[in-house]
């Protein structure tokens, strides 16, 4: 994992930093497991744009969850880009340093979300005002990505079945 991360950093080039969210989609595949009370992008002004979401969980307490996340880059359709990783969510949250790639992804939302503790989850999941500014800093300074259109997708799975899908479309120029 460490070596992969190193290769990724070496492979990618740093360009003019600008990250835009272009769309967000939340899909409760299994309405018995959860629904999304809200899930939206908001542009306050030219420089301040954010997304927020709230998922209501119906099968609480959640003690087992698998998270499969992947990055896609647009080139005649969205093509897999570098990662398609599945982590045992509860195991990872007990020790976020155990997986550097999942840890990098987790770093995007942990400070603005009530996901920031270990299992069980017995409450709704909130992500509050995740701004492009914050993404910009992480995407350009911590791990530089080349320009282009990206899709970040997360599949939330319980008992090996997809229960919810989260998609964030990003434009980096």
Ligand X SMILES: *[C@@H]1O[C@H](CO)[C@@H](O)[C@H](O)[C@H]1NC(C)=O
Q: Which residue is nearest to ligand X (CB)?
A: 70
Give me the phi and psi of 148, to 5 degrees please: 145, 180
- Contacts with ligand X, residue ranges (CB under 6 A): 44-48, 68-70, 84, 114, 116-117, 153, 155
Q: Give whichever of 14 and 40 is closer to ligand X, judged by the CB atom.
A: 40
Least distance in angstroms from the C-beta of 27 to ligand X: 12
We find the least distance from the C-beta atom of residue 11 to ligand X, in angstroms, to be 20
Instruction: Judge contact between 164 and 156, C-beta under 8 A.
Output: yes
Instruction: Provide the β-strand partners of residue 55.
Output: 36, 125
SS3 labels along 69-105: EEEEEECCCEEEEEEEEEEEHHHHHHCHHHCHHHHHH
In the complex, least distance from residue 160 CB atom to ligand X, rounded to whole angstroms: 12
Nearer to ligand X, 10 or 97 (CB): 97
Residue closer to ligand X (CB basis): 16 or 47: 47
Question: Looking at beta carbons only, is 145 or 152 nearer to ligand X?
Answer: 152
Q: Whole-number minimum distance, CB 155 to ligand X, in Å?
A: 5
What is the phi-psi region of residue 58: left when phi exceeds 0, alpha when psi lies from -120 to 50, beta otherwise? alpha
């Amino acid at each position: 994992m460490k070596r992969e991360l190193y290769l990724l950093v070496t492979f990618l080039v740093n360009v003019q930093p600008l990250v835009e969210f272009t769309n967000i989609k939340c899909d409760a595949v299994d309405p018995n497991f959860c629904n999304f009370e809200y899930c939206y992008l908001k542009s306050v002004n030219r420089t301040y744009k954010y997304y927020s979401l709230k998922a209501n969980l119906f099968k609480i307490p959640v003690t087992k969850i698998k998270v499969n996340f992947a990055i896609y880059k647009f080139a005649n359709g969205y093509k897999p880009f570098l990662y398609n990783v599945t982590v045992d969510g509860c195991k990872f949250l007990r020790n976020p340093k155990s997986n550097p790639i999942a840890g990098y992804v987790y770093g995007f939302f942990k400070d603005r979300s009530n996901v920031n503790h270990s299992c069980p989850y017995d409450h709704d999941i909130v992500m509050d005002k995740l701004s492009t500014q914050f993404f910009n800093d992480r995407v350009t300074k911590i791990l530089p990505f080349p320009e282009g259109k990206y899709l970040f997708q997360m599949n939330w799975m319980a008992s090996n079945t997809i229960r919810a899908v989260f998609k964030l479309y990003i434009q980096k120029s």
